[in-house]
C-alpha cells in the first residue's frame, strides 16, 4: 500500500487542505515552494499521470480543478503543476499525484 493510500485511510497523519469523494489534497512533507500541496486521487489504480489520463480523464480534470481552487485560495490563482513520471524524472511514490507549487517560485523550481 502506498504512503498516500495510508494517508487517505488515516493510518498515517498528514495536513489535509481539501478533500472530497475522489481526491485528497495535503501539504507536502518536504515543501519546495511557499505553497507545495499534493493533490492525490483516492484510487490507487493509476501509478502516474499518463495512466490516469488514459484510464479516467474526468478524474484528471478534477485533479487540475482542485489544484486551481487551492491556488485561488493561496496564491492569486497562479501555480505550477508538476507530475513526476518515472523514477528517472524524480517520481518516488507510484500512486499518481500532482504537485501544486506557488508563491514566489524560483526559476527552475521542480518538485524533486
Catalytic residue numbers, as ranges:
97
Residue 86 lies near ligand 5GP (rule: CB under 6 A): no
60, 79, 91, 100: residue in contact with ligand 5GP (rule CB under 6 A): 91
36 vs 26: CA distance, rounded Å: 9
- Candidates 10, 21, 30, 58; binder of ligand 5GP (CB under 6 A) is 30
Q: According to the binding rule CB under 6 A, does residue 14 interact with ligand 5GP? A: yes
Q: Which of residues 41-80 bind ligand 5GP (CB under 6 A)?
A: none
57 vs 90, beta carbon nearer ligand 5GP: 90
Composition of the chain by helix, strand, coil, percent to 5: 30, 20, 45
Burial string for 79-101 (b: 16+ CB within 10 Å, else e) reads bbbbbbbeeeeebeebbbbbbbb
Amino acid at each position: 500500500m502506498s504512503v498516500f493510500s495510508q494517508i487517505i485511510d488515516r493510518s498515517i497523519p498528514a495536513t489535509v487542505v481539501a478533500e472530497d469523494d475522489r481526491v485528497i489534497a495535503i501539504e507536502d512533507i518536504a515543501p519546495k515552494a511557499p505553497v507545495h500541496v499534493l493533490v492525490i486521487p483516492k484510487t490507487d489504480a493509476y501509478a502516474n499521470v499518463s495512466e490516469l489520463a488514459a484510464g479516467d480523464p474526468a478524474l484528471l480534470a478534477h485533479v487540475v480543478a482542485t489544484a486551481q481552487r487551492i491556488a485561488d485560495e493561496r496564491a492569486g490563482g497562479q501555480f505550477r503543476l508538476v507530475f513526476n513520471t518515472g523514477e528517472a524524472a524524480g517520481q518516488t511514490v507510484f500512486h499518481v499525484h500532482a504537485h501544486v507549487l506557488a508563491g514566489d517560485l524560483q526559476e527552475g523550481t521542480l518538485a524533486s
